[in-house]
Structure 1
């Protein structure tokens, strides 16, 4: 069936005004942060909207655009009604047949299947299946001997990264890890094919594959598969070194430090954080430097070095206070004041200052946007632990119950282990 020619979106182009596509994309990202959304908007995305390639934005972009232009609807922004662009066969809908959109026609549009998974699924496993991680809906095209790798393949890798992160934010890692292994293998198969159409495409493919390795590594990490996580992070670091990509290298070291701390390898955690800081220096992102410095602080706390921990915390706060910039990496959307408070709470917990840790953990729970369900459950689990160790049993039990209530939606071995440890503390102090 022949595809209809895209119609330029002139209404959206008028809204951009005198701003360049990159400047307008930056404004979209800032607006997203204002309402706690996550969008990976860049000049390419704006160009595709204006060219009419994206006839209706996904739900995250829709919320951001309506926030930016209050009083306007999607039609006023030049978009088509959602039900007209889904490519659904009405006969199939009537028959109740499953709807699986093709990746080549929905690079930046959430499927109805994905929307229903978010609205009705209580498990990450069902959500992952709906996303098609490991299935057709999010398939990364396999390389072919006669086919050079171009924009379609790179976008598929980048989209897989975004979808995994989105599901992790809302559901936690379990049920996602195994499903995410298939797109990771496909991404590295594309790299091994070595037939990108241009150097910029190859660079994006390296970056996308490396970020995908980190995302899958995090799913393993949060699921308690620490050896698997270590392997994935090492794979991402190797990819960064091959591609000469300091942003990817800094990200890989950041997660490696976190993993080493969780595994009790505190010296390694310090070294990885410091290596990440060196890699991040040219990236013009004070927030990234702040996060890496907090990783270092947590490692010093694990070693019991209070002075070094406090010095690192002071540097981290100073860097954080510089504020966000447009060059902050996309993956850092989770790093706001709630995460800053939570990471500091972890430091004081490791140093045995439970009341101080509880104050910071409580601030993290108060400040956290409920959209990030996994992080909110994690912060509450941390707070329950700190309260229990501080002897505040009733408050600890109340926070632990809140976490338990959330575990039908959020699946994380790490959170369950934290709750089990808190229960043991409460049992020994009864």
Structure 2
């Protein structure tokens, strides 16, 4: 729901609780989401708990006593999201007036938001901020980037930067919805992010969004749209000026081509991606969202291409290289490519090896299966395993653990 809608629902509950209509607004909700307000008033906590069916602490709020027990922090990081959620510096979000006390916005105001964006991307890569939590936080930050526009005067350059950041945060919300397999929400984020990136005049951000649009269309099996989006990403101006962007856009296009049955084109495009990667200047400064794209990711994207065109042995080899090169903190990608490795092994008839790869990915007893794309892939693995080796002892062990995880959802 919209922030204002949640405020209205809570106001209704406050009316029933106190006999007087509540006075909450969307600003209160944004302050909760960003961590600016870390412990709402007692009546507000009561209706929040009633609305969501969990305690205030489970929603991520921290009582003052808990904050006093926490280790001392530097002032910039003091007001953060709680330990119940991934930490994001929120103190620098929306000042009542710009930090310099004047009625004019400067690049320093945008820089603080950009640091938050880098922290959000880091949390996504490390798997500490995913799904609806990542999506909600990203949207709250995007709204703050737009709210800053109304705080005071600013140069055209600063305003373009704020539109860029609003697009960046909305793009992260788009990615979170795609990852969570929520196409309706993702589509809404895509339209808004594209508009904002156009207002920012950012070819680089549009290239990022075209990549997400291609994946969204692929999930919906709209292959012509997926191809068109991936090709649009590779035509972006930034791909002509920066080899690393061109390599990423080409690798994504190769993945869509292989899924669409265009095997020869996919191999040519993948070869171009690999050649272009070697030409990239890795000392050049790039936006935070590009930090994930390295040799490990290129090998992983190539492995997906090989699997889709039926070259499962080469796909497996590349996935092993991916997992050996992947940075230790990239937990989300490690899980994703590990599931892909199990599927590649299964496709070659190596059921026992595939189970050995996939079994450690299942949750502990009583915990639910992982969400989004990885859950869908594990279900695909389960169906394939049952067909390949029904009744085998290691398959029975897998089925028991997998079924237990499904029941916990």
Q: Taking structure 1 as the reference length, what is the TM-score of the superposition? A: 0.66
Task: Select which of 104, 119, 126 maps to 1:163.
Answer: 119
Change (3 A) 1:98 1:224: farther
- The equivalences for 1:299-338 within 5 A come to 299-325=256-282, 326-338=284-296
Pairs within 5 Å for 1:231-242: 231-242=188-199
- Structure 1 residue 282 displacement after superposition: 6.4
CA-CA distance at 1:420 after TM superposition: 1.5
Partners in 1 of 2:377 and 2:166 — Cα distance? 31
2:66 equivalent to 1:96: no
Partners of 2:296 and 2:357 lie apart in 1 by 17
Question: Mean alpha-carbon deviation: is it higher for 156-165 or for 330-339?
Answer: 156-165
| Change over 3 Å in CA distance of 1:366–1:154 after alignment to 2 | same
C-alpha contact (below 8 Å) 1:302/1:350 kept by paired residues: yes
Equivalent residue for 1:140, pick from 94, 103, 106? 94
1:403 Cα deviation after fit:
2.2
Deviations 1:212-247 (A, max 9, x none): 111111111111112222222222222222222211
- Equivalent pairs, count: 319
2:119 counterpart of 1:181 = no
Tell me if structure 1 keeps the 8 A contact 2:135–2:172: no
1:360 aligns with 2:318: yes
* Distance in 2, Cα, partners of 1:373 & 1:257: 24
Report matched runs for 1:206-285 at 5 Å: 206-281=163-238, 284-285=241-242
Asked if 2 retains the 8 angstrom alpha-carbon contact of 1:148 and 1:196, the reply is yes
Q: Alpha carbons of 1:409 and 1:339: their partners in 2 closer, same or farther (altered >3 Å)?
A: farther
Unaligned runs of 5+ in 2: 1-63, 390-409
1:422 corresponds to which of 376, 381, 392: 381
Asked if 1 retains the 8 angstrom alpha-carbon contact of 2:239 and 2:245, the reply is: no
Residue 150 (structure 1) aligns with = 106
The match for 1:294 is 251
Q: Whole-Å Cα distance in 2 between the matches of residues 162 and 410 of structure 1? A: 28
Matched with 1:9 is none
Partner of 1:29: none
> Is the Cα–Cα contact under 8 Å of residues 140 and 186 in structure 1 kept in the other structure?
yes
Pair 196,113 (structure 1): closer, same or farther in 2 beyond 3 Å: closer
Deviation at 1:143, TM superposition (A): 7.5
Following superposition, the deviation at residue 277 of structure 1 comes to: 1.8
Distance 2:176 2:67 in 1: 37
Give, in whole Å, the separation in 2 of the partners of 1:409 and 1:338.
29
- How far off its partner does 1:406 sit? 9.5
Cα distance change of structure 1 residues 112 and 182 upon mapping to structure 2, 3 Å threshold: closer
Q: Summarize deviations over 1:106-154 as a string: whole Å, max 9, x none.
A: 2xxx55967x94xxxxxxxx223x437xxx546434689x944334531
Q: CA deviation at 1:92?
A: 7.1
Give the TM-score, by structure 2 length.
Answer: 0.69
